[in-house]
Amino acid sequence: MPNILHFECSRCGERLSADKPQNVCPKDAAPLYVRYDLKSIKASREMLKDRPPTMWRYREVLPEADHVSLGEGFTPLLQSRTGANVYIKDEGLNPTGSFKARGMSAAITMARHYGIKKVAAPSAGNAGGALAAYAAAAGIEAHIFMPKDVPQVNAIEAEHFGAKLTLVDGLISDCGRMVAERKDREGWFDLSTMKEPFRVEGKKTMGYEIAEQMNWKLPDAIIYPTGGGVGLIGMWKAFDEMQQLGWIGSERPKMISVQAAGCAPIVKAFEQGSTASEVWANAQTISAGLRVPKAYADFIILDILRKSGGTAVAVTDDETMQAFESWAREEGIFAAPEGAASLGAYNKLRANGFLRADHRVVLFNTGSGYKYIDVIAKYYGRNKPPLPKSRNIGGIIQPY
C-alpha cells in the first residue's frame, strides 16, 4: 500500500503489515487502525477546493487504491431553522440512504484491491444494504446476515443488489456468530463492524467534512447515534489526523453517544464508570441500527466519550418519534429514527443544562427515513400521538 504505513492495534499497539488483508489484532483481538505517514503527506486545506464532492476528496488520508465509489460523502451540513447554533449533518443523502455507504465504499475498495472475492457481514440493516450495493459495483460476492425483523427495505435492497441474504431469528449478535462460525469454511472475508480496519476509514471522513464545512473550527459537541460506534471512533481518529496535518488545533468537540432506552449498553457503562459494556438483554427499539446489545469496540467508544468531556444519553422510542416529527415539520428533514434520536438527546441535554444555547452542536441524521416506511407506519398503527387530523403514512390514511 503506497501511502499506508501499517495497521496498529487499538489496544496493545502491535503493528501489522497492510500488504495483506487483516481483521483484528492476533494478540488480543482488538480492532486495528490504519496508520499513514502523516508527516510526509503534502496536503493542505486549500488543495480541497477544486476536488469532487465525495468522501474521496480527502484522498491523501484514505487508501490509495482504485475507488469503488457511488458518490458517497460530502453530505450537507444544514443549519437548523429552530436553533441558531444547531447543525444537522444529513447522512440520509448518501448512496443507499445512510452513512454506512462511507464505510462500505472504503472496505470494498480495499477488498477488491486485495483480490478478495467473497465477503460477509452481520448487519442491523443499513450496513447490509450498503455492503450489497458496493459489492455489486465491485463484482464481489456478499453474504449478509440480518435479523429477520429489519426494516423491509434493507432486506429488499440487499437481495436486489445480488447479495446472498440470510434473515436470522435473533439479533445482530446472533448474525455475527453465524458469520464467525462459517467464514473460514466458506472462504469469506469478515467485514463485521470494527473487525476490519477500513470501515472506520470511510466513516472518519464525516469528521473531515464537519471541519471543512465549519471552516476548520470544530463544533462544541457532536451527538452521534451509537450502535457499533464506527463513526464516532472514525471522527475521533480524523481529528487527531487533522491536527497532525496542521489543519486544526488541539480543540475537540464533546463526543456524545445517543442510544435507545430499549438498548443502551454504552449509556449504562458510561454512567457506571465502566471501561467496557455488558451485553444488553432483550434489546428492543424502533431504531433498528441502535439495536446492538454489545459493541465490539465499546472500550474505545467509552474512552472517547470520557476524553472529550462528552456523555451518553438514552432516549425512548416515543421521544425519538417526537423528534422525527419535529425534524419533518420544522426542518423539512425526513430522518431515520436513529438520526432523530440525536435531536431527542439534544433536547434532553439542553433541559438538564449539559448543553447551552450558545454551544455549537452537530446532530447526526445517520440515514433517510424513506428506508423506514414500514417501521413508521407500524409505530403510528400502535400509538396515537397528538398529530394533525389525518396523515398518510406508508400509503395508509390514518384518521385521528
The C-alpha cell 458510561 sits at 270
**Spatial separation of the C-alpha atoms in residues 65 and 141, rounded to whole Å:** 19
Site size toward Zn ion (CB under 5 A) is 8
Q: What's the CA angle centered on 194, arms 191 and 199, to 5 degrees? A: 65
Q: Taking the complex as a whole, how short is the minimal distance between the CB of residue 6 and Zn ion, in angstroms?
A: 13
Distance in angstroms (rounded) separating the CA atoms of residues 287 and 375 = 9
Nearest distance in Å: CB 281, ligand PLP? 20
Residue whose CB is less far from ligand PLP, 101 or 218:
101
Query: 202 is in the binding site of which of Zn ion, ligand PLP, none (Cβ under 5 to 8 A by kind)?
Result: none
In order, the DSSP letters of 40-103 are G----GGGGTTS-SSGGGGGGGS--S----SS-----EEEPSS-TTEEEEEGGGSGGGBTHHHH
Number of residues near ligand PLP (by CB under 6 A): 19
Q: Helical H runs in the chain? A: 100-113, 126-138, 152-160, 172-186, 198-213, 230-245, 265-272, 298-307, 317-326, 337-351, 373-382
Length, in residues, of the chain: 400
- Continuous segment of H or E residues that includes residue 391: strand 390-393
Beta strand 4-9 with 15-16 is antiparallel
83 or 225: CB nearest ligand PLP: 225
Closest contact distance (angstroms) between CB of 102 and ligand PLP is: 10
d(CA 16, CA 206): 26
Among 54, 94, 105, 126, binds ligand PLP (CB under 6 A): 126
Taking CA atoms, 183 is separated from 133, 145, 173, 208, in Å, by 21, 12, 15, 34
Q: Taking CB within 5 to 8 Å according to partner kind, which of Zn ion, ligand PLP, none is near residue 265?
A: none
Contact flag: residue 207 with ligand PLP (CB under 6 A): no
Interface pick for Zn ion out of 15, 17, 19, 27 (rule CB under 5 A): 27
Q: Which is nearer to Zn ion, 27 or 117 (CB)?
A: 27
Cell triple for 253: 468537540
Q: What cell does 210 get? A: 464537519
Binding mask 18-57 for ligand PLP (x = CB under 6 A): ----------------------------------------
Report which DSSP code applies to 269. H
CB of 288 to ligand PLP, least distance (A): 7
Residue 27 binds which of Zn ion, ligand PLP, none (CB < 5-8 A, kind-dependent) = Zn ion
Q: Does 285 bind ligand PLP (CB under 6 A)?
A: no
Report if residue 9 touches Zn ion, rule: CB under 5 A: yes
Q: How far is the CB of 53 from ligand PLP (least distance, A)?
A: 21
Answer with the entry of ligand PLP, Zn ion, none that 367 interacts with (C-beta below 5 to 8 A by kind).
ligand PLP
Distance CA 6, CA 27 (A): 16
Among 61, 88, 121, 124, binds ligand PLP (CB under 6 A): 124
| 63, 147, 367, 369: residue in contact with ligand PLP (rule CB under 6 A) | 367
Helix (H, G, I), strand (E, B) or coil at 254: strand
Residue range at the interface with ligand PLP (CB under 6 A); choices 6-14, 123-131, 273-281, 388-396 = 123-131
Residues binding Zn ion (CB under 5 A): 9, 11-12, 14, 25, 27-28, 30
Residues binding ligand PLP (CB under 6 A): 98, 100, 124-127, 193, 225-231, 289, 336, 338, 366-367
